[in-house]
Chains A and B, each alone.
Chain A
Amino acid sequence: MHRRMLLAGAALLALPPARAGATKPEVAAAIQALTGGAKLRQGRIKLDIPLLVENGNAVAMTVSVPDAVSEAERIRSIHVFAEGNPNPNVINAFFGPRSGRPGLSTRIRLATSQTVIAVAACADGTFWTDSIELLVTLAACIDEI
């Protein structure tokens, strides 16, 4: 009995953090402000972050556009949100016509285990998204000097 409970507990710990319903209200509001209510679709962009983050102070993140898109569908901007951070905004990036491949890599801070969402705005007025649910073992933001 005892052992079975332990096993159940271990299984719970191993599960990724439960997705709190859908998106957090403030993140949903930020995305709504960005899209103006337009539908978000999966695809066109790809978000890459390790699923298990050992140190939340510097997490490598890449947003890329795997398939070439036509000039009319050019990706104008990419916005990244981290739901579990005190301020969910991470980065807004804007691409001019001369930017080669839209996309970026940087290092971000993650306060806790959470879902990270990337949204891309295209020149044809469509919005695309990708998200990753991840575990953070050492959180950013809590350290003192």
Chain B
Amino acid sequence: MARPLINAPKSVRRGEVFDIRILIAHPMESGQRRDDVGKPIPREIINRFVCTYGGEEVFRAEFFPAIAANPFLTFSVSAVESGVIVMTWTDDLGASQFESIEITVT
């Protein structure tokens, strides 16, 4: 999988709620389309996204083929302590993409 783009603040105040915006390049093949000779193209999508903060799960999503190509997602997190936010995308083939960001809570 391609390297994702993540947009999140580097440092936040304690208790502040901040948004994380993520984008990953992926065709999200829906399984509904057919190729030139009419053969169905098998489904191949990212079906799972998990975000943990300091080891605790804060947000999890199950994607279906109705999510557009190059899935983009915005969600929010409440700043508790400085730590690492780890995000994981998993696709139908079982491949995973990890990405982590450090967040400083002041």
Interface set of A (CB-CB < 8 Å, partner B): 57-59, 82, 85-87, 89-96, 98-101, 103-110, 140-141, 143-145
Contact = CB atoms under 8 A, between A and B. Distances in A.
Contact of A92 (B34, B62, B76): B62
Contact of B74 (A58, A95, A106, A109): A106
Contacts of B6: none
26 contacts: A57-B69, A85-B66, A91-B61, A92-B62, A94-B61, A96-B56, A96-B59, A96-B60, A98-B53, A99-B75, A99-B76, A100-B17, A100-B77, A101-B17, A101-B76, A103-B75, A105-B72, A105-B74, A106-B68, A106-B74, A108-B66, A108-B67, A108-B68, A109-B66, A141-B32, A144-B34
Contacts, number: 101
A135 B104 CA distance: 44
A95 B63 CA distance: 15
Contacts of B77: 98-100
Contacts of B60: 93-94, 96
A110 to B, nearest CB: 8
Contacts of A93: 59-62, 75
A100 B67 contact: no
Main secondary structure of the interface of B (DSSP, over half): strand
Interface of B: 17-18, 30, 32-36, 41, 53, 56-69, 71-78, 80
Residue from A99, A140, A141, A145 with most neighbouring chain B CB atoms (10 Å): A99
Contacts of A58: 68-69
Query: Looking at A94, A96, A104, which has the most chain B CB atoms within 10 Å of its CB?
Result: A96
Nearest to B50: A94
A110 B74 CA distance: 19
A144 B32 CA distance: 10
Nearest to B80: A98
